[in-house]
Amino acid sequence: MSQNTSIKPAWIGVDWGTTNLRAYAMTEQGELLDECCSEQGMSSLEPCAYEAALRSLIAHWDLPNPCTIVACGMVGSRQGWQEAPYRAVPCTAGTDSPVRVNHSGNDLNVWLIPGVKQNDPADVMRGEETQIAGFLALNDDWDGVICLPGTHSKWVHVSAGEIVSFRTFMTGEVFQAISTQTVLKHSLSGEDWDHAAFETALSDTLSRPENLGSTLFSLRASDLLHGQSSGTARARLSGCLIGAELAAAKPYWLGQRIAIIGNDRLCDLYSFSLSQQGIQAERSEAGAITRAGLVAAYLSL
Amino acid sequence: MSQNTSIKPAWIGVDWGTTNLRAYAMTEQGELLDECCSEQGMSSLEPCAYEAALRSLIAHWDLPNPCTIVACGMVGSRQGWQEAPYRAVPCTAGTDSPVRVNHSGNDLNVWLIPGVKQNDPADVMRGEETQIAGFLALNDDWDGVICLPGTHSKWVHVSAGEIVSFRTFMTGEVFQAISTQTVLKHSLSGEDWDHAAFETALSDTLSRPENLGSTLFSLRASDLLHGQSSGTARARLSGCLIGAELAAAKPYWLGQRIAIIGNDRLCDLYSFSLSQQGIQAERSEAGAITRAGLVAAYLSL
């Protein structure tokens, strides 16, 4: 974490999720001066503890008084600092309608960007709407589908500056649960990776998604009977689960212009997987996109 | 547990799985005299501890000397008392070829029933082969498919007294992992049950298995947005996962004669699910079937 007290932000952007709190010191023009983060995400905080956690994280910056804070993510959920009620699709990404936190002292003006909900099929997002707003701010008149891979991957149909519909897939979290909490844990340890096995499992599951149920245990049996390596098993499980996601998300990507937001290994896998289906997805770096969304919200105040 | 020292078994049958150890005091003719069990399953035992665990459990019976013990289940795995190597399909259920434990004192003759393996697609069973042998002993000339629901459900094609092929589905274990180790745990607590929701989810997943990936998170979102009850969410998750299993196992049950081994709530759900597909499955009680398999092994010695 930076300890540079010479940093004089005009305002502060905050990305406050389930596991992490990340603050950006910004200029009036939306340039990044400095950033810092802590592990004081929603899952480790009572509602009354948010203000102190934020103040502690940004205390080393030379803040204006009052200081405007614009925050996105789970901080606006019912279990967060204060609820910023969901807006319903079809709607803009919501950075034009932040909600003021009622009590945070006279020296801080804290605004929370509301999440977005879809009533049928039931779905919700908190944080991704800010990335979508940021992406649209950096890409004028962009229509298509934005894919945000992660613990809870999202596919979001965007048209004419609005979120039209979206679906969430628990792919990352299901991978974690199956690979650590079932008998497969004995066959998937380590970090090795067999890319050819990923590709085969992806292709098989995408073309025959109904076979997913019978594939999982074979990852264990292939180890017991044929000494399959853990790198092959990990890659096969990942290929199966991303393949199942792509099979279900097909109405979102088939024949569409696709952008992937993210810069990690998981996004590489999604990008590769889509390329196997003939889709050349655009890539955007997640941090810059999030900041662009926070800037859009700040400018709307 | 019984403590009746007047019980004089001719031999002892043992069902020794991952979590439980169950012993049956049997007559020479294969009638049950008494039974007892402990939680000293494979997962809690080092290989050197099996003999003491068994002796302790059966010490209150008046044993012959030497006493014959016939055991099935994970006790014969590589991490068990002694490995009883898998037999490969197509093969009989294996109760005609138990493996002698090398060292157990002169007063005990311990035999382990080998598991069964399938090389392609890779699959294994340990314990279910004994139930299959028991079922076939009680049902002469039975050809068809035997379904054994559970943590690891199995579908086993049986013909002319042999196991022809089989597949394992991690349905029970995946349900447990997803319902306790992901964000869904907040929406699935308790034991309530919404049968209509089960039926709808089963039918939807069976007819459109590719949609499974998008259904899971909607269980959470339906709670957040519409106050869906935990009983509805639990039943929907169960319906989705059993539906996915039935979709993948369709080559096993479509147009086949089906027997379900088991007497618990889960077997009721499988029986109901198959009936929705026009299949009237036969039901057999698991304990009696297991004992019949152990008797078949004893008679083969």
If 0-12 CB within 10 Å is exposed, 13-18 middle and 19+ buried, where does residue A120 land? Answer: exposed
Q: What is the pLDDT of residue B71?
A: 98
pLDDT higher than threshold 60 for residue A105:
yes
Q: What is the pLDDT of residue B3?
A: 56
Q: What is the mean pLDDT of chain A?
A: 94
Instruction: Determine the Cα–Cα distance for residues A300 and B164; give it in Å rounded to an integer.
Output: 68
Q: Does A227 touch chain B (CB under 8 A)?
A: no
Is residue A167 within 8 Å of residue A123, measured between CB atoms?
yes
Q: Report the candidate in B265, B251, B19 with the shortest Cα–Cα distance to residue A213.
A: B251
Smallest Cβ–Cβ distance between A222 and the set B122, B210, B244 belongs to B122
Smallest Cβ–Cβ distance between A221 and the set B123, B174, B209 belongs to B123
Query: Which residues of chain B does A222 touch, with a Cβ-Cβ cutoff of 8 Å?
Result: 122
Percentage of chain A modeled with pLDDT above 70: 98
Percentage of chain B modeled with pLDDT above 70: 98
pLDDT higher than threshold 60 for residue A1:
no
Q: Up-side HSE of residue B158: CA atoms within 13 Å toward CB? A: 29
Percentage of chain A modeled with pLDDT above 90: 89
Residue A263 pLDDT level (bands cut at 50, 70, 90): confident
Find out if CATH 3.30.420.310 is the number for domain A171-284: yes
Probe site for chain B from A167, A168, A217, A253 (most B CB atoms < 10 A): A217
Is residue B98 within 8 Å of residue B301, measured between CB atoms?
yes
Q: Up-side HSE of residue A272: CA atoms within 13 Å toward CB? A: 17
pLDDT higher than threshold 60 for residue B2:
no
Instruction: Determine the Cα–Cα distance for residues B105 and B252; give it in Å rounded to an integer.
Output: 44
Q: Which residue has the higher pLDDT, B96 or B64?
A: B64
Integer Rg of chain B from CA: 21
Q: Report the candidate in A72, A174, A163, A59 with the shortest Cα–Cα distance to residue B178.
A: A174
Residue B4 pLDDT level (bands cut at 50, 70, 90): low
Q: How many CB atoms lie within 10 A of CB A199?
A: 15
CB contacts under 8 A, A 106-145 vs B, are 117-119, 121-124
Residue A148 pLDDT level (bands cut at 50, 70, 90): very high
Is residue B116 within 8 Å of residue B89, measured between CB atoms?
yes
> Per the structure block, which two tokens stand in for B180?
């306790």
CATH assignment of A1-126?
3.30.420.300
Core vs surface per residue A165-189: b (16+ CB within 10 A) or e: bbbbbbbbbbbebbbebbbbeebbe
Cβ–Cβ gap A216/B244 under 8 Å: no
Q: What is the pLDDT of residue B98?
A: 95
- The one-character DSSP state at A116 is E
Q: What is the pLDDT of residue A91?
A: 96
Q: Please confirm whether the linkage preceding A90 is cis (ω < 30° from 0).
A: yes
Element (H, E) at A173: helix A171-181
> Per the structure block, which two tokens stand in for B241?
């996962």
Q: Which residue type, as a one-letter code, is found at position B30?
A: G
pLDDT tens track for B242-299: 999 999 999 999 999 999 998 789 999 999 999 999 999 999 999 999 999 999 999 9
Task: Calculate how close chain A gets to B1, using CA atoms only, in Å.
Answer: 30
Core vs surface per residue A121-149: b (16+ CB within 10 A) or e: bbbbbbbbbbbbbbbbbebeebebbbbbb
Q: Report the candidate in A61, A72, A71 with the shortest Cα–Cα distance to residue A33.
A: A61
Where do we find the tokens 């890319």?
A: A195
Q: Report the candidate in B301, B299, B289 with the shortest Cα–Cα distance to residue B135.
A: B289
Query: Which residues of chain B does A244 touch, with a Cβ-Cβ cutoff of 8 Å?
Result: 210, 212-213
Task: Calculate how close chain A gets to B248, using CA atoms only, in Å.
Answer: 5
Q: How many CB atoms lie within 10 A of CB A153?
A: 25
Smallest Cβ–Cβ distance between A124 and the set B178, B210, B224 belongs to B224
The predicted model gives B149-163 an average pLDDT of: 96
Is residue A152 within 8 Å of residue A170, measured between CB atoms?
yes
pLDDT tens track for A181-226: 999 999 999 889 999 999 999 999 999 998 888 899 999 999 999 9
Helix (H, G, I), strand (E, B) or coil at B259: strand
Residue of A nearest to B214 (CA): A169
Smallest Cβ–Cβ distance between A123 and the set B119, B123, B221 belongs to B221
Q: Report the candidate in B44, B52, B6 with the shortest Cα–Cα distance to residue B25.
A: B6
- What string of DSSP letters covers A19-34? S-EEEEEE-TTS-EEE
CB contacts under 8 A, A 159-198 vs B, are 167-171, 173-174, 176-178, 180-184
The whole-model pTM stands at 0.93
pLDDT tens track for B80-124: 999 999 999 999 987 889 999 998 889 999 999 999 999 999 999
Domain ranges of chain A: 1-126, 171-284
Q: What is the pLDDT of residue B1?
A: 47
**A1-126 and A171-284 share one CATH topology?**
yes
> Per the structure block, which two tokens stand in for B152?
């690891």
Residue of B nearest to A86 (CA): B225
Query: Quick one: B11-126 is in which CATH superfamily?
Result: 2-keto-3-deoxy-galactonokinase, substrate binding domain (3.30.420.300)
* CA distances from residue A134 to A20, A139, B138, B161 in whole angstroms, order as listed: 20, 9, 68, 65
Element (H, E) at A146: strand A144-148
Phi, psi for B273 (deg, rounded to 5): -60, -40
Instruction: Determine the Cα–Cα distance for residues B20 and B36; give it in Å rounded to an integer.
Output: 11
Strands (E), chain B: 11-16, 21-26, 32-38, 67-72, 87-88, 99-100, 108-112, 116-118, 123-125, 144-148, 153-159, 162-169, 258-261, 282-284
Q: What is the pLDDT of residue B103?
A: 81
